[in-house]
Structures are given as C-alpha cells and as structure tokens.
Amino acid sequence: MQAPVEQRWSPYADNGGTCMGVAGEDFVVVAADTRLSQGYSIHTRNCSKVTQLTDKCVIASCGMKSDAITLHKHLKARMVMYEHQHRRQPSVTAIAQMLSTTLYYKRFFPYYTFNVLCGVDDEGKGAVYNYDAIGNMERVPYTTSGSGSALVMSVLDAQIAKSNQTIATPSLDKAGIVELCKDVLSSVGERDIHTGDYAEIFLIDAAGISKTEFDLKLD
Amino acid sequence: FWERHLNRLCRMHELREKERISVAAASKLLANIFWQYRGQGLSCGTMVAGWDKKGPSLYMVDDNGDRHKGNVFSVGSGSTFAYGVLDTGYSYDLTVEEAVELGRRSIYHATHRDGASGGVVRVYHVHEKGWTKMIAGEDVNKLHYMYAAEKNLRGDE
C-alpha cells in the first residue's frame, strides 16, 4: 500500500512569457512577448503583459495573468487618486515605491507577479526597477523576468554591462538597444516553449511612449 | 518594508515627544514587530546603530524577535565567516579608520566563502552628528586581488 500524499488545489498558476527592460541615458526600452500559456497549452497568442501607468511609465508583469490584471487595475486606480490629490502625475520613483508596498501588503498571500517597472525619472534619466513577488525593489540598468529570464539575463550581462569582458566594444545607442531587445526575445522564443507568438516593444523617452510590434515564432 | 515602517514610527515619536528617539526604543519597536510575526516566515537580520543621550549604541535585531545590545555583531548566511575575521581584529580602542578596514575585510571574507554572499561592500560610520558613507560600494572581486597582493599572492591559486 502506498504512503498517503496530500493533494491540494493551488491558487496559483504560471502563465509563462518573458519581459525585459533596459535603461538608457534619457530613455528606456521595454520588451515583452504576448503568449499566454498553461502547462503545454496556449490560452492565447495575443495578450499584452504591459500596462501604461503615466505618460512616462509602464509596468510589465510575468507570472500569473489574473494577479497581473488585478495588480495593474489597482495601480491605475492609484494613479487617478494621486492625480486628484497632487494635480500632477506621479513620478517613476514614487510609483516604484508604491508598487513595493502594494506587493508587501499581500506578504502572506502574494500577487504571483514578477514585475518590471520602467520609465523616465524626474531628472530625465531612464529608470528600470526589478521586483520579486513580495515587493523587494531594486533600481537597475537593465533587468528581465518570466520563464525566459535566465536566458535573457546572461545575454544582457554580456551585451550591456559587458561583465567579465576585457576587450572593449562600443556601447549601444537607442536604436542598437531596441534591435538587441528584438534579437534577445527572438532567441528566447527559440529555446523557451512558453515564450513566442508576438512581441511588443515600448520606447519611452522625452517625446513620450511609442509602441511597435513584431512577430515571433508561432511554434 | 519594515525598515521604512520603522522610519515612520521614529518620525512619529519625534513629533509626539519633541525629542529624538533612543536607539534602545527604536530597536525595540522593530524587535516587537518581528516578535508579532514570529513563525510566519519573515526573514531579516538588522543592525540598529545610533547616537542618543547615552552615547553610541548598537543593537542586533533579527526575525526571531531577538534583540541584543553589544559592540560587535555579524548576521546573515555568511556571518560565521565574518565573525572569524571580526573577532580576531577587534578591540574597543580601534580608530575609525581601523574599524572601517576591519569591517570591509570581514565582509570580503564572508563573501569569499559563503555562496549566498557577494557583490559590493558598503561601510557606514554612525556618529554624533549622524552618519557618513565611508565606503560607497567596493567590488569584492577587486578586494580579493588586493588582499592577495598584500600576502604576495596572485589570488588565483
């Protein structure tokens, strides 16, 4: 007779996908795929992971889509409240801390979301913030999260930070970074089954937020 | 989160009591929070350091709700490694420069041996007029080769 094993319904699901953010001197590039999956099945090929919060700030979330939807809805409501009280939009730094505390308030039943918050700060510089599920935040030059994050991070470490490289190479400009993000997402789409279909690229700079889409493999 | 919260509690104390909060009281506020959440999975080891009417004080507060006053503490996964270097070099009469160097060296040794520790070292000096960032962020990899050179080694043996 086999030993008893406890079976329980889990309130969490992993809907897959990958997102990334890279900060430049006066801009940020955010890239995320649009595939929604559960296990080996695809829910939909065309579902955005990114929500625009202000004229200068977007948030991209990987993990469980339902928690991401609720979190983004909650943050958008807080944006409205902030604008009513302060007569202006919140800065990226203010939103960053707000997200951290919002996540920690659910410390004992977390939002299963792995967030990347990107924008242009009050000094005009590109800002990227990386979070864990319970609100640990860190401002970083670039980051990634989601099922393909391990694959992405190594490439960004090599191409942007140029860690552990002794041969000097020129650093990338705005267009170069956008092309790099496209290449990285394509490569992740090859190796990670949960990443693919289409990708959204957001470019945030002094002129505002512009979005482009491009195709990834559908397999 | 809890350190930001402690910041607010200390500020509220100042507004209510019209006086700076003592290190003992501030550390106890934090320890009591951890005691309340004991067993629920919070994980944190903190040093609360400051100057008050009694002079300089150092309290170690951790997620068990433990709170200890002392002169020398090390906390975290690499703490045992740091203690080795710290206890060997410590004396109450160290100058500020010597203490900063001892702290830096202890952290370096912990990062070398503990897989979960690494990155950069930051050292802060807490004094009567507040705090100064003595070392802003020194890469431990650089310290590795620096300390090896002091012993006439290459650092990659």
- A18-215: CATH topology is Glutamine Phosphoribosylpyrophosphate, subunit 1, domain 1 (3.60.20)
Model confidence at A110, pLDDT cuts 50, 70, 90, reads very high
The pLDDT of residue B17: 97
pLDDT, tens digit (0-9, with 9 covering 90-100), for B71-87: 999 999 999 999 999 99
The set of residues, in sequence order, having a beta carbon less than 8 Å from that of A121 and lying 6+ positions away, is A91, A92, A93, A127
pLDDT surpassing 90 at residue B120:
yes
pLDDT single digits (tens) A147-158? 999 999 999 999
A67 CA: distance to closest CA in chain B (Å): 21
Does residue A30 contact residue A58 with C-beta atoms inside 8 Å? yes
Q: With bands split at pLDDT 50, 70 and 90, how would you rate the model's confidence at A166?
A: confident
Taking the CA of residue A186 and the nearest CA in chain B, the distance in Å comes to 31
Q: Which of B1, B40, B41 minimises the CB distance to A101? A: B1
Substitution target from A98, A102, A106, A108 for chain B, most B beta carbons within 10 A: A108
Q: Give the pLDDT score at A130.
A: 97
pLDDT at A52: 98
Identify the closest residue of chain B to A164 by CA–CA distance.
B141
Contacts of A108 in chain B (CB under 8 A): 40-41
Percent of chain A with pLDDT over 70: 100
Q: Which of B1, B40, B41 sits opposite A104 (nearest CB)?
A: B1
In this predicted structure, what is the pLDDT of residue A163?
84
- What share of chain B in percent tops pLDDT 70? 100
- For chain A, what is the mean pLDDT? 96
Evaluate if residue A170 carries a pLDDT over 90: no
Res. B125 pLDDT band, cuts 50 70 90: very high
Q: At what angle do helices B140-150 and B96-113 cross, to 10 degrees?
A: 110
Contacts of A186 (CB under 8 A, 6+ apart): A216, A217
In this prediction, the answer to ipTM > 0.85 reads no
State how far the Cα of A144 lies from the Cα of A30, in Å rounded to an integer.
10
Give the residue-averaged pLDDT of B38-54.
94
**What whole-number distance in Å separates Cα of residue B100 and Cα of residue A56?**
41
Q: Residue B124, Cβ neighbours under 10 Å: how many?
A: 14
Identify the contact set of chain B against chain A, taking CB-CB distances under 8 A.
1, 4, 40-41
Average pLDDT over residues B101-116: 95
Q: Is the pLDDT of residue A183 over 90?
A: yes
Residue A136: closest C-alpha in chain B = B1
Mean pLDDT on B101-125: 94
Selected for mutation to probe chain B from A104, A131, A134, A137 (highest B CB count within 10 Å) is A104
Mean pLDDT of chain B: 95
Chain A residues with CB under 8 Å of B4 CB are 101
- Token pair for A116: 């990347």
B40 contacts A108? CB cut-off 8 A: yes
Q: What is the pLDDT of residues B128-139, one digit of tens each?
A: 999 999 999 999
Give the residue extent of every domain in chain A.
18-215
pLDDT in tens, A54-91: 999 999 999 999 999 999 999 999 999 999 999 999 99
The pLDDT value given to residue B32: 96
Interface check for A101 against chain B (CB to CB < 8 A): the answer is yes
Per-residue pLDDT, averaged over B62-66, amounts to: 92
- A97 min Cα distance to partner chain B (Å): 10
Determine the Cα–Cα distance for residues A155 and A180; give it in Å rounded to an integer. Answer: 9
| Nearest residue of B to residue A137, measured between CA atoms | B1
